[in-house]
Amino acid sequence: ETGVTQTPRHLVMGMTNKKSLKCEQHLGHNAMYWYKQSAKKPLELMFVYSLEERVENNSVPSRFSPECPNSSHLFLHLHTLQPEDSALYLCASSQDGRDEQFFGPGTRLTVL
């Protein structure tokens, strides 16, 4: 595997479900990011992790809970989501906080 991978690619869940999105980077980077892309809106940064430490939480509701167990893996735990949370969730990584970001293919999330 090369680059940034995300699983699952598609996810449909009810508002009472609990699910997790997974991101893995194979680039040796030390910073990872979660973004949300809704229709007709710019990508929104959700969380930034640098050296496995969260350095930014962009006013994201607590029903989204990130986890970065090591520099290669990033999770986004989801619970009690709302239909308006339906979007494409993109993960990215970079060598450090200033460098070019490389994106994964995204997880298309639908909340019923």
Partner 1 sequence: KQEVTQIPAALSVPEGENLVLNCSFTDSAIYNLQWFRQDPGKGLTSLLLIQSSQREQTSGRLNASLDKSSGRSTLYIAASQPGDSATYLCAVRCFTGGGNKLTFGTGTQLKVEL
Point out which residues bind partner 1 (CB under 8 A). 4, 6, 31, 40-43, 45, 48, 50, 55-56, 88, 90, 92, 94, 97-98, 100-106, 108
Of 35 and 64, the one with the shorter C-beta distance to partner 1 is 35
Of 1 and 16, the one with the shorter C-beta distance to partner 1 is 1
CB 25 within 8 Å of CB 4: yes
Please count the other Cβ atoms lying within 10 Å of the Cβ belonging to residue 96: 10
Quote the least distance from Cβ 21 to partner 1, whole Å: 13
